[in-house]
Amino acid sequence: MSIKKLPERLINQIAAGEVIERPASIVKELVENSLDAGASSIDLDVQRGGVESIRVRDDGGGIGRNELALALERHATSKIASLEDLTAVRSLGFRGEALSSIAAVARLQITSRQAADEHAWVYRDGDIAPAAGGLGTLVEVRDLFYNVPARRKFLRAERTEAAHIDTLIKRTALGRMEVALRLSHNGRLVHDLPAAHDEAARLGRLGELCGEAFVSQCVQVRFSTSGLQVSGWIALPTFSRSQPDMQFFLVNRRAVRDKVLVHAARQAYQDVLYHGRHPAFVLFIELDPARVDVNVHPQKLEVRFRDSSMVHDGVRRAVHGALAEVRPGTSVPDADVVPFRVAQAPPQQNAFTLPVREQVARYAEFVAPQVSAAASPVTDMDQACPLGMAIAQLHGVFILAENAHGLVLVDMHAAHERITYERLKTAFDSDDIVAQPLLVPQLVQVSVQEAQLADQQADYFASLGMQLLRKGPQTVEVRQVPALLQHADVEQLVRDLLADLLEHGRSNRLREQRNEVLSTMACHCSVRAHRRLSLDEMNALLRDMERTERSGQCNHGRPTWVQFSIEDLDRLFLRGR
């Protein structure tokens, strides 16, 4: 076939295929334009999942009459003017293809008015005429893919397309809480979200979008390091999901999907989440726009970080630190007041044998000054000991304790398992890694790129207690491994380490496998079920829980204690107060 230039209309339709995948793609582009125009209120109305019509009205700056026709041209935009602007994009939209792509596959009408105009102007079928309209812009899109019937056949059911639009509005509403948003579908109001300018209003919007259960079981994250700020809300491990459907990342308030961020969050939850479950969170990542490339996906759904290791480490530390600070007696991870003061316990003689009986005399010295005979014992007990004081043991499995709020029920094995596990991690983190030479070095077949990486990162592997030598273009010889992992699957471990290094620039496989071993050790070292404990031993366990990180869950993600308020107990017996 001879070479020829494609018709302009076909070129536009091909370009539209990259930007407009479904009705939600149109909604995304139009809503982003409204936000970039400074809108404080956006109304969205869709019919039949957006296939029949989409109407987006905003109160932003509007488009001037002389620019209405230009706005529909390809590569026409007000958001960038030079390459320097493209390397530090601060707006949501910038490609200059949204309106032209929409016009290529649907019927488009724009009505807009700027503050200096006496009336609005409407663009329809290539003509511009005066119109009635308030300040801002109204974009109406009808008959999506009417001229590309093959594309229309790939659209899903109306309900599915409407769900995609709903998800998009949720992400937008979370990222721009100061903007009022309304969504209607087939004349029915789906979301009516007023602008949220204070913390109470933001939590209200969070509850509207993620559910009140999420709000009641989430903690706030505030973390900053050099050039990076991480904030938002993360759900406690007890509020986990069967699917990763409530994970929202907003980079410079742009909703994105990014495997670096997902990996960082998963690592932060790895010690406290039950296997097969997924965490829920809304996380805002703020950094210099020049350090993040948003121009890597036609629909701007993905980003690329200049320093992905720094971002990965910052997000992991932010989430990990927030979870670590959630202990009995704390309501938020960044609370200024620590609920109790604990004297430093003496080091254990043997890190692998951690009996339940602690320094009971030390606990008595700590508690006694704070609970005076003249004061209310229950109220002061709550200040000093959030989990209260033990009153009984049930079937040798559960500890019953009384605190200011009511009854606390503790799974003593799960609680002691977490305490033991955290102490073992601290003990091993404080010492140099002990390496174990292999009696017979093991050869591992890898790719050429992985073999090169093993050779280049020899010092890094040595710091982990491993010795890798390149023996051929695609062969690596393993001569030593950390002593704690000498019985691990060495071949699979090396493959996973190299894959992580290629993908993320770092790997935590050794730490993860080491922690799995320590978790098993902690389980076997912890107090067993049906063992009878004295009140002193039970109270010692409660005090250890109060000062141990992540003590709300055992190593497998199961809860270690639950609180029953007096109101809860009253309801059980049909009593009112």
Note whether residue 329 is domain-resident. Answer: no
- Which residue's entry shows tokens 């036609």? 298
Claim to verify: residue 139 and residue 222 sit in the same structural domain: no
Claim to verify: residue 378 and residue 485 sit in the same structural domain: yes
- Please list the alpha-helical segments (H only) found in 125-226: 149-152, 158-175, 199-210, 212-216
Q: What is the mean pLDDT of each run of 10 residues along the chain (577 residues)?
A: 85 80 94 94 96 96 92 86 81 82 93 94 92 94 91 90 95 95 96 95 94 92 92 91 92 91 90 84 95 81 88 93 78 34 32 39 43 44 77 91 92 88 73 78 90 87 85 91 76 84 71 67 66 88 89 83 90 77
Q: Which residue type, as a one-letter code, is found at position 302?
A: E
Q: Which two tokens stand for residue 165?
A: 């639009």
Note whether residue 418 is domain-resident. Answer: yes
Any idea what the CATH number is for the domain that residue 250 is in?
3.30.230.10
Note whether residue 288 is domain-resident. Answer: yes
Claim to verify: residue 412 and residue 496 sit in the same structural domain: yes
Note whether residue 334 is domain-resident. Answer: no
* 254-256 and 247-251 beta bridge pairing: antiparallel
Cα atoms in the 13 Å half-sphere on the side-chain side of 506 = 15
Claim to verify: residue 441 and residue 362 sit in the same structural domain: yes
List, in order, residues 6 or more apart from 368 with CB less than 8 Å away: none
Q: Strand locations in 421-536, DSSP E?
A: 435-445, 467-472, 475-482
Calculate helix-pair angle for 259-268, 308-324, nearest 10 degrees. 30
What per-residue confidence (pLDDT) applies to 514? 67
CB 48 within 8 A of CB 42: no
Q: Indicate the number of domains in the chain.
A: 3
Handedness of CA 421, 422, 427, 429 (dihedral sign): positive
- Which residue's entry shows tokens 């320093």? 307
How many residues are given for the chain? 577
> What's the CA gap between 416 and 516, in Å, rounded?
17
Closest alpha carbon to 111 in 89, 129, 93, 126 = 129
Claim to verify: residue 180 and residue 253 sit in the same structural domain: no
Give the domain extent around 390: 345-577
Domain endpoint, select from 295, 324, 353: 324
Claim to verify: residue 255 and residue 404 sit in the same structural domain: no
The C-alpha angle with vertex 137 and arms to 131 and 139, in degrees rounded to 5, equals: 90
Claim to verify: residue 314 and residue 413 sit in the same structural domain: no
Claim to verify: residue 440 and residue 516 sit in the same structural domain: yes
List Cα–Cα distances, 517 to 230, 267, 449, 485, in angstroms.
31, 17, 30, 8
Closest alpha carbon to 339 in 403, 401, 388, 382 = 382
Claim to verify: residue 161 and residue 274 sit in the same structural domain: no
Q: Which residue type, as a one-letter code, is found at position 430?
A: S
Any idea what the CATH number is for the domain that residue 121 is in?
3.30.565.10
CB atoms within 10 A of CB 236: 20
Number of H-type helices and E-type strands within the chain: 20, 22
Domain endpoint, select from 259, 293, 324: 324
List, in order, residues 6 or more apart from 252 with CB less than 8 Å away: 90, 285, 286, 287, 289, 292
CB atoms within 10 A of CB 570: 13
CB atoms within 10 A of CB 250: 20
List Cα–Cα distances, 151 to 22, 23, 58, in angstroms.
9, 12, 29
Q: Which two tokens stand for residue 374?
A: 């003249």
Note whether residue 239 is domain-resident. Answer: yes
Note whether residue 336 is domain-resident. Answer: no
Domain endpoint, select from 191, 224, 242: 191
Note whether residue 320 is domain-resident. Answer: yes
Claim to verify: residue 444 and residue 569 sit in the same structural domain: yes
CB atoms within 10 A of CB 41: 16
What per-residue confidence (pLDDT) applies to 425? 77
Claim to verify: residue 559 and residue 416 sit in the same structural domain: yes
Note whether residue 206 is domain-resident. Answer: no
Claim to verify: residue 470 and residue 423 sit in the same structural domain: yes
